[in-house]
Structure 1
Amino acid sequence: MKPRYRLAVERDAEQLLELTLRAYEPIRKLGIRFAAAHADLDLVLKNIRENACYVMEEDGRIIATITLRMPWGKQPGPYGVPHIWWFAVDPDTGKKGIGTKLLQWLEETILRDTLKVPFVSLGTADKHPWLIEMYERKGYVRSGEQDLGKGHITVYMKKQLRHDL
């Protein structure tokens, strides 16, 4: 079945929490303090209410989620463009490229074609053993670092989406 993409709504919160906690279990084991890795229902609801939280569904079940924090929001990214945050794929889906499909949909359909943004940013932990390299393979480049007091250095990355702006 073809996946369905949509904005999350409050009734998705419990399913998103369960998916997020399972997806971020390896992050917790690494001792990386991403907010999503330690989410509770209140944080999931706050994310849905304050940000653009998207879900990918298959057969009516949420299998992945990704959030954009907007420059005008309460927790903007560092560059005045939408900032990718809270990216999780249901570990039960296996290695089927679900995350790649969701990220590509977000970059192309939402960011490039709908919002017309020239680039997007994200942040990840310097201590993570493979995330930086994964994002580099997807076209992201390192653009800065900051110690946010979380026990790791946040590595900011950007990806150019439009060259005509």
Structure 2
Amino acid sequence: MGINYRLATLEDAEVLLDLTLKAYEPIRRLNIKFPAATADLQLVKENITKHSCYVLENEGVIVATISIRKFEEVTDLPCVWWLAVDPAYKKQGFGSKILRYAEEAILRDQLKAPAVALGTSDQHPWLIPMYERNGYERFYEQDYGESGKGVFLRKILLPELFKEETEVQTGDGR
């Protein structure tokens, strides 16, 4: 059977909720307010239906998930978010595999996206360095007061199509 990537379906919602809550437990301990950290079944179903939510199956078992969405408030680039790996499968490379699948097979090869973005919290002790090791670079920060700063990173996928000046949206619509 091996590894299989596919779009999530509503039938996967309960499994994805369980996987996500287990994976984001350290985020809750850090008191970081990621929507996925406190997701409920309705939010998981909305993610599946409103965004492109992918799963990685290993031997028929869903072990990781990632979603692709727009975050127009910050950038016109597609964004990856809600990356989660079942803790029982941590340290086996599944997070890197599903991230690379989203970046290369979907965003670069199918959608011809010049770059991809993602957002995280400056309060998280290891996410920013992990994304930087995977080729992401910071391009924008947003202050959320007591919750810290949102840090937005991007990775250029197709340099010949990338135009930096159109990347960050501002409050006045530019």
Global fold match (TM > 0.5): yes
SS at match of 1:128: coil
**2:156 matched residue in structure 1:** 160
The unaligned stretches of length 5 or more in structure 2 are: 162-174
SS of aligned partner of 1:28: helix
Contact 1:85–1:123 at 8 Å: present in 2 too? yes
Question: Alignment partner of 1:164: what SS?
Answer: helix
Three-state SS of the structure 2 residue aligned to 1:134 is helix
Distance in 2 (alpha carbons) for counterparts of 1:106 and 1:77: 22
Q: Confirm or deny that 1:17 pairs with 2:33.
A: no
Q: Distance in 2 between matches of 1:64 and 1:148?
A: 29
Q: Who is 2:53 aligned against?
A: 53
List, as ranges, runs of 4+ consecutive aligned residues in structure 1 with deviation greater than 2 Å.
Answer: 147-150
Which secondary structure does the structure 2 equivalent of 1:14 belong to? helix
Contact 1:76 1:83 in 2 (8 A): no
Alpha carbons of 1:7 and 1:34: their partners in 2 closer, same or farther (altered >3 Å)? same
> Which residue in the other structure is 2:105 paired with?
109
Render the CA deviation track for 1:2-40: whole Å, top value 9, x for unaligned: 210011110000000000000000000011110000000
Mind listing any 5+ residue stretches in structure 1 that lack a counterpart? none
Map Cα deviations across residues 79-116 of structure 1 (whole Å, 9 max, x no partner). Answer: 21211110100100131111001111111100100000
Q: Secondary structure at the match of 2:117?
A: strand
Retained in 2: the 8 A contact 1:77–1:83? no
Identity of aligned residues (%): 54
Structure (1 or 2) with the larger CA radius of gyration: 2
Instruction: Return closer, same or farther for 1:107/1:2 CA change in 2, 3 Å cut-off.
Output: same
Deviates more, 1:57-66 or 1:37-46: 57-66
Q: How far apart are residue 150 of structure 1 and its match?
A: 7.3
1:77/1:122 contact within 8 Å kept? no
Alignment-derived partner of residue 117 in structure 2: 121
Provide the TM-score with structure 1 as the length reference.
0.93
Q: Between Structure 1 and Structure 2, how many residues are aligned?
A: 161
Q: Which amino acid aligns with 1:8?
A: A
In 2, distance between residues paired with 1:86 and 1:150?
22
**Equivalent residue in structure 1 for 2:147, among 146, 151, 158:** 151
Task: Return the TM-score normalized by structure 2.
Answer: 0.88
